[in-house]
Amino acid sequence: MSDASGRRDRYAVVGAGIVGAAIARELTKRMPAASVTLIDKEREPAAHQTGHNSGVVHAGLYYEPGGLKARLCRRGGDLLKSFCAEKALPYLECGKLVVALDATEEQRLQEIFRRAQANGVPGVELIGPEGIRAIEPNAVGRAALHSPATAVVDYRAITRALVDDVRAAGGTVLLETTVERIERGTSGAIVHTSRGEIAADHVVVCAGVQSDRLAHRSGGARDPRIVPFFGQYFLLDSAYRDVLNGLVYPVPDPRYPFLGVHLTKRFDGEMTVGPNAFLSLSREGYRGLGLSPRDLAETLTTAAFWRFAGQNAPSAVREARTVLSKRFFLRQAERYVPAMAGADATRLTRGIRAQAMDGTGRLLDDFAIEADAATTQVRNAPSPGATSSLAIAEHIVDGILARVR
**pLDDT at site 393:** 98
Burial class (CB in 10 A: 0-12, 13-18, 19+), 157: middle
Task: Give the pLDDT mean for 86-97.
Answer: 97
Angle subtended at Cα 376 by Cα 371 and Cα 382, rounded to the nearest 5 degrees:
105
For residue 222, give Cα distances in angstroms to 210, 279, 378: 12, 20, 14
pLDDT at 287 > cutoff 90 = no
DSSP code of 2? B
Q: Where are the domains of the chain?
A: 10-49+156-224+366-404, 96-148, 225-363
pLDDT tens per residue, range 321-373: 667 678 888 998 999 999 999 899 999 888 999 999 999 999 999 999 999 99
Sign of the Cα pseudo-torsion (299, 251, 154, 269, in order): positive
DSSP 201-233: SEEEE--GGGHHHHHHHTT--SPSEEEEEEE--
pLDDT at 401 > cutoff 80 = yes
- In the chain, count H helices and then E strands: 11, 23
DSSP code of 267? T
pLDDT at 180 > cutoff 90 = yes
Give the other-Cβ count within 10 Å of 193's Cβ: 19
Of 49, 46, 48, the residue nearest 22 (C-alpha): 46
Separation between Cα atoms, residue 226 and residue 222, nearest integer Å: 10
pLDDT tens per residue, range 34-68: 999 999 999 999 999 999 999 999 999 999 999 99
Of 167, 190, 170, 203, the residue nearest 34 (C-alpha): 170
Burial class (CB in 10 A: 0-12, 13-18, 19+), 112: buried
Burial class (CB in 10 A: 0-12, 13-18, 19+), 36: buried
pLDDT at 383 > cutoff 70 = yes
Burial class (CB in 10 A: 0-12, 13-18, 19+), 368: middle
Q: Considering the domain delimited by 225-363, tell me its CATH architecture.
A: 2-Layer Sandwich (3.30)
**pLDDT at site 315:** 72
Class (C level, CATH) for 10-49+156-224+366-404: alpha beta
Q: Could you tell me which residues are beta bridge partners of residue 41?
A: none
Task: Give the pLDDT mean for 3-10.
Answer: 68
**pLDDT at site 255:** 65
For residue 404, give Cα distances in angstroms to 9, 200, 375, 398: 10, 13, 12, 10
pLDDT tens per residue, range 242-270: 999 999 999 987 766 677 788 999 999 99
DSSP code of 238? G
Residue 177: pLDDT band by 50, 70, 90 thresholds? very high
Return the H-helix or E-strand segment holding 99: strand 96-100
Separation between Cα atoms, residue 259 and residue 319, nearest integer Å: 11
Does this model's pTM top 0.85? My answer is yes
Lowest mean pLDDT among 177-181, 231-235, 293-297: 231-235
Considering the chain, what percentage of its residues have pLDDT values greater than 70?
Answer: 95
| 225-363 shares the fold of 10-49+156-224+366-404 | no
Separation between Cα atoms, residue 246 and residue 271, nearest integer Å: 9
Query: Which residues lie below 8 Å from residue 180, measured CB to CB, with a gap of 6+?
Result: 192, 193, 194, 217
Phi and psi dihedrals of 200, rounded to 5? Answer: -145, 150
pLDDT at 3 > cutoff 60 = no
DSSP code of 248? E
